[in-house]
Amino acid sequence: MDAVCFEVLATSGKARLGRMKTPHGIVDTPAFMPVGTQATVKGLLPEQLHQAGVQMLLANTYHLALRPGAELIALLGGLHQFMAWEGPILTDSGGYQVFSLAAIRRISDHGVEFRSHLDGSLLELTPERAVEIQELLGSDIAMCLDECPPYDASDSVLREAVRRTVHWAERCRKAQRRPDQALFGIVQGGLDLGLRRECVRALLALDFPGYALGGFSVGEPPELMYPIMTQTADWLPEHKPRYLMGVGRPQDILEAVAAGVDLFDCVLPTRNGRNAQAFARTGVLRLRNAVHRTDPRPLEDDCPCVACRQFSRAYLHHLFHADEMLGPILVSLHNITFYQRLMGEIRQAIAQGRFAEYRAARLAQCQAGN
């Protein structure tokens, strides 16, 4: 039996309502994963995440390999026990750090050598080691090591990244040992549809249980991302989950769901929360602004999170100006709740066959807020 089983329950256009079964529970899709880079979603307890509706988390291979170390986490019972999260976990492979930490890494067909951003020590990530680390962590879904180039990379760099990504995927597939962990392939190719198609064909031959769309949200304008994302999703198997990596603005999620994407992650809810920016249907509320200083209203009237049920915009404004840690905690929790409510409404709209109408209404709200 596969470690991850996926079933499409209903469609509305290309949008898919699905159910993904993992060793640590069921995930109803489309779903959004908060980012727990270092085995924690910053400032929030696992119980708070559960109460907000979170089904699945993402953690980071590169960062956990550096600190505290994958072997130590395995010794202490694996990542779920280590961070007291009972639900499913997906671990990325370190491929994004190939892009984001380009200044402190050296890449070859063998793998990637990083100079630790913590102390300058050497960390070597080969496809085999990336799989080994993720198997030690014990995540439900592991990702192949890939090369993620910037969107404005030259044709030769993009082509080399696709070739290397496929080569590494083959080695990751061979290195896999745990039967209770699913390994997903990652499609690269930048904004070149020909390279995207080439990468998809090669990865489909390896028959991964799920596929990710990588190399998006790396600086390209949304209007360039959407058509490439949509076409790439069309080429992926209908009966397997599709994961759009690192893309997380509400309007981007709506467009991706319309293209048939099932799974998302992004740092925006908590990063914006730490920076006094709260998501709302009417747009992003910038709580440091003076307009909120005497505002007695909650962030959103109908939001069930504790920030909205117990506190005013004026109080949150005060917390950030007083540099109190409660401010980032409350707004991060609100933003996580906002995203989970968005995904719940998306699933309901697909189930009712009215996703196109729902998407249009939410995009109009985003536009009005902007």
Residue-wise pLDDT for 169-190, tens only, equals: 999 999 999 999 999 999 999 9
pLDDT reported for residue 244: 98
Q: Which of 92, 140, 146, 252 is catalytic?
A: 92
| 28 belongs to the catalytic site | no
Total-model pTM: 0.97
Is residue 76 a part of any domain in this protein? yes
pLDDT reported for residue 143: 98
Number of domains within the chain: 2
Of 266, 298, 331, the domain-final residue: 266
pLDDT digits (tens, 9 = 90+) for 67-104: 999 999 999 999 999 999 999 999 999 999 989 999 99
Does one domain contain both 169 and 43?
yes
Does one domain contain both 170 and 319?
no
Q: Do you find a cis peptide bond into 68, omega within 30 degrees of 0?
A: yes
Residues in a beta bridge with 31: 263
Residue 151 in this model has a pLDDT that exceeds 80: yes
Q: Quick one: which H or E segment has residue 187?
A: strand 182-187
Is residue 2 a part of any domain in this protein? no
pLDDT reported for residue 22: 98
Measured distance CA(250)–CA(106) in Å, rounded: 35
Percent of the chain with pLDDT over 90: 97
Does one domain contain both 246 and 328?
no
| 234 belongs to the catalytic site | no
| CA 287 and chain centroid, separation | 25
Is residue 3 a part of any domain in this protein? no
pLDDT digits (tens, 9 = 90+) for 251-285: 999 999 999 999 999 999 999 999 999 999 989 99
Query: Are the beta carbons of 12 and 356 closer than 8 angstroms?
Result: yes
Is residue 4 a part of any domain in this protein? no
| CA 228 and chain centroid, separation | 19
Give the chain's length. 370
Look up residue 27 and give its DSSP letter: E
Measured distance CA(328)–CA(106) in Å, rounded: 36
Least confident interval from 148-152, 289-293, 296-300: 148-152
Does one domain contain both 286 and 260?
no
Of 225, 247, 266, the domain-final residue: 266
Does one domain contain both 275 and 295?
yes
User: Mean of the per-residue pLDDT values for the chain?
Assistant: 97
Does one domain contain both 187 and 51?
yes
Of 266, 286, 311, the domain-final residue: 266
Is residue 6 a part of any domain in this protein? no
pLDDT digits (tens, 9 = 90+) for 183-232: 999 999 999 999 999 999 999 999 999 999 999 999 999 999 999 999 99
Q: Which of 234, 265, 295, 301 is catalytic?
A: 265
Does one domain contain both 299 and 239?
no
Measured distance CA(33)–CA(255) in Å, rounded: 17
Residues in a beta bridge with 114: 105, 123
pLDDT reported for residue 370: 65
Residue 208's Cβ-count burial label (10 Å; 0-12, 13-18, 19+) is buried
Is residue 198 a part of any domain in this protein? yes
Residue 369 in this model has a pLDDT that exceeds 80: no
Does one domain contain both 214 and 319?
no
Does one domain contain both 261 and 312?
no
Is residue 240 a part of any domain in this protein? yes
Range of the domain at 106: 11-266
Measured distance CA(202)–CA(189) in Å, rounded: 12
In one-letter notation, the amino acid at residue 193 is L
CATH of the domain at 48: 3.20.20.105
Query: Three-class SS of residue 152?
Result: coil
Is residue 1 a part of any domain in this protein? no
> What is the rounded (10 degree) CA torsion for 322, 325, 326, 327?
60
First to last CA, the chain: 47
Q: What is the mean pLDDT of residues 305-318?
A: 98
Residue position matching structure tokens 């180039």: 149
pLDDT digits (tens, 9 = 90+) for 320-343: 999 999 999 999 999 999 999 999
- The answer for residues whose C-beta is within 8 angstroms of residue 58's C-beta and 6 or more apart is 33, 34, 35, 36, 89, 90, 91, 92, 265
Does one domain contain both 65 and 124?
yes
Does one domain contain both 75 and 176?
yes
Does one domain contain both 216 and 360?
no
**In this structure, what are the phi and psi dihedrals at residue 169, rounded to the nearest 5 degrees?**
-60, -40
